[in-house]
Amino acid sequence: MRKTVFVVLLGAGLLAAAGVLSDAGEEQLAPLGLPPVPIPEDNPQTPEKIALGEKLYNETRFSTTGEVGCFTCHEPEKAFTDSPLKVSEGIEKKTGTRNSPTVINSAYFTTQFWDGRSPDLEDQALQPFINPVEHGLVDYEPILTIVRTDPEYAEAFKEVFGKSRDGITMREVTLAIAAFERTVISGDSPFDRYYFGGEEDALTEQQKRGFELYLNEGRCVSCHVIEQTQALFTDNRFHNIGVGINNIQNDIPKLAGNFLEADRTLSEVDVEVLTDPRTSELGRFAISHGFDDIGSFKTPTLRNVAVTAPYMHDGSIETLKDVMIHYNNGGVTDVGDPVNDFLSGGIRPLDLDEDQIDDLVEFMEALTSPEFEPSADEAEGQ
Amino acid sequence: MTKTNLNRRDFLKGAASVAAVSTLPLSAVELAFADPAMNFTFAYISDSHIQHIKGSRFVNNWDRGLIRAVAETNLLQQKPDFVMFGGDLAQLGTKAELDHGAEMLAKLNYKTRMVMGEHDYYLDLGEYWSDLFGPHWYSFDHKGVHFVVLNSILTFDKWTFDRWPTAEQRMLEMAALDNPNGSPFMVGEKQRAWLAKDLAAIAKDTPVVVFSHSPIQKIYKGWNFWTDDAEQVQALLKPFEDVSVIYGHVHQIQYNQIGNISFNAVMATAWPWPYPRSYAQAESHMPKITVPMNRADPFFERDATGWQFINLKTGRVDLEYNLYDNTDRTVAFNPATGKPEDTKYQAEDDRIAPQIQY
Amino acid sequence: MAKKQIWAACAVVGAALILVGYGLQADEFTDQDVVRWQGEFMSVVAEGQALWGSPDLGTNGVACGQCHPNAANTHPETYPKFQQQLGGVVAFRDMINWCLMNPLEGEKLELNDKRMIALEAYATYERRGVALEPGKH
């Protein structure tokens, strides 16, 4: 109950802060440091749709055990992740191969999932339901039965979409969920107030040094994009930065070949990827079949990164400092490890010293939006 | 595939490692079989410019380019019949660079043949290179096609032998592309005489493919995108029905048709070069039909670098360019127009911003 | 004091005489001046050209001219511009520094370093005559 209330307030509060709700086709205003939220023409925002989406997001009946909902892996109180889990746990605590990415600001991605296999939030929402290690459903029937017959859902779908009974399909379900997710936006971090808001004191001296490194010796800004008037912290592209792929270097020809033979449909990709740890390291390659994408994963946003440990697509890097060390080593976690042959051209040894690494980590702390800062009496584990 | 310490001796023996079955598909390459027996592919890796810094340090950027090209070539599902290396393995022609480059090339799963580049040559006039790789020019036949490899980066004897006090100095002078003290490339009389004799025995309807480092054309003298005796070499090739020249050196996509001869440049694995027209103070003769490669983002060190595999069907070459961080490009010979064309972007209206915005 | 006034007057007269001696007003210059000053500029361009080919600007022996022969494809005429690699709108010298730090794996130059002026002078000179297009990507 408390959780639901928190989320509703959060969503409404953000909407209020962001300004007027949009009409069809218009863009939603955004907090400091972010551009307007892209709203697709065929899914305009309305308060009723958002409320319905949130209800669906928190629904546990759309899983075989009746215990798993979107919030299980994307929990509002954990910055919409399941930190500190390395990889997510679905029904019966089954695990896949992916670290849960945050829903916060996911509306700005041009593709969804670490391998970018979904073109939008609506399509993304379809997949976890039928993933055997996530919600575990065999097909969408249980969901459709509930939304068509449960009186509260029936009334809501009628109000939002003008649809009832068999007229309610997974399309309406995912439109609503996506509409809710498009309100999960956060900016206004200390960095935003410093860089876009002109508040000289918003960053500490160490964070300012970290920011200089970010733009220069750290070589961060080209993928984790900051621009003149806004910062998404992602380039929406896919890069092999030497995480995970390093472990399967010698087996790449065999694994890629197996995968291509086994995989025919997109839904199979989901299963294959999440259940085979070695295969899943091929990343975007599984979708594009291009040499360029071997071992490549989508650049995540760095907003709120300090509260969403552990890091990388497989959760294999525990702390932000470890992340910096990985980059500093030029795409290997331990110095002396072999660099994989397909490493992105953007990754190479950085030659930073310990102070510089600490400065960068400190700067990462400045990217947390106020509503996701751990409160004083919360766990200090992060 | 076990990683052993492959060295130049393994390379000389044409080392083939334990075959990792490559099951990956060739993307976007249509092999239209006219006479199926004649069809085959070969891969082309070029201009790696392995650059020694000190001790065991080499420029990381160029190393990674060659490593990646070799790794990807080894993944090809439709295996190439052989691999060509198009010249400029080293940056300053030193033993350390040639050895380091040979070590990386030794990881290729295929027979590899070499073309001489000026960066390989001008330190010791190709002596160590010959120890590693063999003759500077030669020919061979494969599945009914006659292949010729030329050393087209020679220059006037006076410049080569008399002008510079040391070999190192000579190499440095030739290494700088825009050096006004440089000297134009040429094939030279001796090789042209050899070529005439070599071609005399070949039937006029045999497809001929010439591998050369310099373009066998006169494109821009200021950067030695130039072969001084281009016309004479072209004249020797004129009598043949299907002739293709494949050249390196320019580090960019170029293609052209002169009479019966198609010209195709290959990408460098190391770094891209600007198009000559981007130098505002001089004129150049860039082939008009070339659709430029995408302009690079220098942050991504593999941007605008790549390697290529080449299909030979009906005696003409089609090149598929494997370009990192960019959409692959295919330049295929179009029998209807009689020239090489980009299969996607040839028409002006089909160009995209990265090809125009230079 | 009278003495001071006399000295001042002498100074003024002296200055006027000097100027008259040159046959100039204070704000005129001659063709020879222009030639001389152009030469001063070209001497720095020459320095820049030497630096452009130098393997010592960074730490890995790579020279600017390896990728930018005759400073081609550096586009000084488009600055200031939004530079993707630096996350904001910057001047030409900022991009020169980016290259020094990245492909050349070196350290950036102070903005008033003589070498920076020389590099800028050379690259801009090689682009002379091209119309300004500030902000062009």
Query: From the CA of B265, how many Å to the nearest CA of chain C?
Result: 18
Shortest distance between the Cα of B355 and any Cα of chain A, in A, equals 20
Interatomic CA distance for residues B24 and B22, integer angstroms: 6
DSSP secondary structure string for all residues of A3-49: HHHHHHHHHHHHHHHH-SPP-TTPPBP--TT-PPBP--TTS---HHH
Which of B207, B286, B277 lies closest to B241, judged by CA?
A: B207
Which residues in chain B have their CB less than 8 angstroms from residue C130's CB?
280
Which of A43-52, A60-69, B229-238, C14-23 has the lowest average pLDDT?
C14-23
Model's pTM, two decimal places?
Answer: 0.87
Give per-residue pLDDT as tens, A13-32.
444 444 434 444 445 578 99
CA-to-CA distance for C82 and B347, rounded, in angstroms? 30
Contact C87 A217 (CB under 8 A): no
**Which amino acid belongs to residue C38?**
Q
Give the span between the Cα atoms of A210 and A362, in whole angstroms: 7
pLDDT at site A280: 84
pLDDT: which is higher, A2 or C87: C87
Q: What per-residue confidence (pLDDT) applies to B39?
A: 83
Please report which residue ranges of B188-323 form alpha helices under DSSP H: 189-200, 230-237
Least confident of A38-42, A54-58, B30-34, B297-301: B30-34
Contact A267, A127 (CB under 8 A): yes
For residue A119, the number of C-alpha atoms closer than 13 Å in the C-beta half-sphere is 2
DSSP string, B293-334: PPPP-TTSTTTT-EEEEEEEETTEEEEEEEETTS--EEEEEE
| Distance from the B256 Cα atom to the nearest Cα atom in chain C, whole angstroms | 23
Lowest average pLDDT, out of A269-278, A329-338, B205-214, goes to: A269-278
| DSSP-derived 3-state class of residue A240 | coil
Mark out chain A residues that contact chain B at CB-CB < 8 A: 219, 222, 250, 252-254, 256-258, 260-261, 289-292, 330, 339, 341-346, 348-349
> What is the Rg, in whole angstroms, of the alpha carbon atoms belonging to chain A?
21
What are the tens digits of pLDDT across the range A63-78?
A: 999 999 999 999 999 9
What is the rounded end-to-end Cα distance, in angstroms, of chain B?
Answer: 42
Using the beta-carbon criterion (under 8 Å), do B300 and A345 form an inter-chain contact? yes
Indicate the DSSP class of residue C22.
H
Q: How many CB atoms lie within 10 A of CB A208?
A: 17
The torsion region of residue A130 among left (phi > 0), alpha (psi -120 to 50) and beta comes to: alpha
- Name the band, by pLDDT with cuts 50, 70 and 90, for residue B30: very low
- Please report, rounded to a whole number, the percentage of residues in chain A having pLDDT higher than 90: 75
Give per-residue pLDDT as tens, A303-356.
999 999 999 999 999 999 999 999 999 999 888 889 999 999 999 999 999 999
Phi, psi of A24 (to 5 degrees): -55, 130
Token duo for residue B87: 């010249």
Of A47-56, A248-257, C42-51, the least confident = A248-257
What pLDDT is stored for residue C14 in this prediction?
66
Whether C60 has its CB under 8 Å from any CB of chain A: the answer is no
What pLDDT shows up at residue B36? 64
Look up residue A64 and give its DSSP letter: T
C47-53 long-range contacts (CB < 8 A, ≥24 apart) are C47/C114, C47/C115, C47/C118, C47/C121, C47/C122, C48/C117, C48/C118, C48/C119, C48/C120, C48/C121, C48/C122, C48/C123, C48/C125, C49/C122, C51/C115, C51/C118, C51/C119, C51/C122, C52/C119, C52/C122, C52/C123, C53/B176, C53/B179
Q: Which positions ≥6 away from A264 have C-beta within 8 Å?
A: none
Q: Give the residue on A whose Cα is nearest the Cα of B67.
A: A341
User: What pLDDT does A378 receive?
Assistant: 53
Helix (H), strand (E) at residue A59:
none
Using CA atoms, how far apart are residues A337 and B345, in angstroms rounded to an integer? 42
Round the average pLDDT of chain B to a whole number and report it.
88
Rounded to an integer, what distance in angstroms lies between the CA atom of residue A282 and that of residue A101?
18
Mean pLDDT of B244-251: 97
Contact A228 C108 (CB under 8 A): no
Residue-wise pLDDT for C111-128, tens only, equals 999 999 999 999 999 999
Query: What number is the average pLDDT over the span C72-76?
Result: 96
- Residues 107-136, chain C, touching B (beta carbon < 8 A): 126-130, 136
Check residue B207 and report its DSSP letter.
-
Reduced to 3 states, what is the DSSP secondary structure of residue B208? strand
pLDDT of residue A257: 62
Residue pair B65/B269 in contact (Cβ under 8 Å)? The answer is yes
List, in sequence order, every residue forming a beta bridge with B307; answer none if it has no partner: B322
**Residue B240 per-residue DSSP state:** S
